[in-house]
């Protein structure tokens, strides 16, 4: 078992345990990831949380490494863990960038992977997140079994329940081999 419980970019390390990936806006959003990671670790300090939010020193950020890290750990959580989307309301304008543009792309991608592969997702929606009504409607049509919650606490509780279910499913699969 790995000793690190909160993994952040850009270092990619291999983990064998199920993880919870914190997906959602970074640019223009408050640091909700630290709050949710703390809630998860308060409930169960052994859970591996992967959070793409990282404060980089000037000149350290490399776009490709960030995207590669996110892709790697999203896939890991999609295969054997949970992806927890928190759709935080925008707090700061980012000139030249639509708010949550990457999150919206990832949300659509993982909705489809949920439908095709059974990836475990939970979506939390903060008041005033733009176009939340559309997201709720589309999930109700195509993926009604994906929980949509209203608070970070509900997001954490649901992610932990799904993670335990995922782990139990893997144990069952492993025992059949």
Residue 1 in any domain: the answer is no
Q: Does pLDDT of 77 surpass 60?
A: yes
Task: State how many domains the chain has.
Answer: 1
Structural domain boundaries, residue 134 = 6-176
According to the model, what pLDDT value does residue 166 have? 73
Length of the chain: 177
Decide if 119 contacts 83 (C-beta within 8 A): yes
pLDDT at residue 176 in the model = 47
| pLDDT at residue 3, as a whole number | 46
The answer to which of 2-6, 9-13, 40-44, 69-73 has the lowest mean pLDDT is 2-6
Integer distance in angstroms from the first to the last C-alpha of the chain?
22
pLDDT (tens digit, 9 = 90+) per residue, 99-153? 999 999 999 999 999 999 999 999 999 999 999 999 999 999 999 999 999 999 9
Check which CATH number belongs to the domain holding 77 and give it.
3.40.50.450
Domain assignment present for residue 119? The answer is: yes
């Amino acid at each position: 078992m790995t000793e690190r419980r909160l993994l952040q970019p850009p270092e990619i390390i291999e983990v064998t345990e199920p993880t919870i990936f914190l997906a959602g806006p970074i640019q223009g959003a408050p640091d909700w990831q630290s709050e949710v990671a703390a809630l998860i670790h308060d409930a169960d300090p052994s859970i591996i949380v992967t959070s793409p939010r990282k404060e980089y020193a000037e000149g350290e950020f490399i776009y490709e490494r960030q995207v590669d890290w996110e892709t790697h750990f999203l896939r890991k959580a999609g295969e054997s863990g949970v992806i927890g989307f928190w759709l935080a309301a925008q707090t700061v304008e980012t000139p030249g960038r639509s708010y949550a543009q990457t999150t919206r792309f990832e949300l659509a991608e993982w909705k489809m992977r949920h439908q095709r592969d059974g990836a475990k997702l939970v979506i939390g929606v903060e008041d005033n997140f733009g176009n939340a009504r559309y997201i709720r409607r589309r999930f109700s049509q195509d993926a009604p079994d994906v929980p949509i919650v209203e608070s970070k606490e509900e997001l954490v509780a649901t992610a932990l329940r799904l993670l335990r279910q995922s782990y139990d499913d893997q144990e069952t699969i492993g025992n059949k081999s």
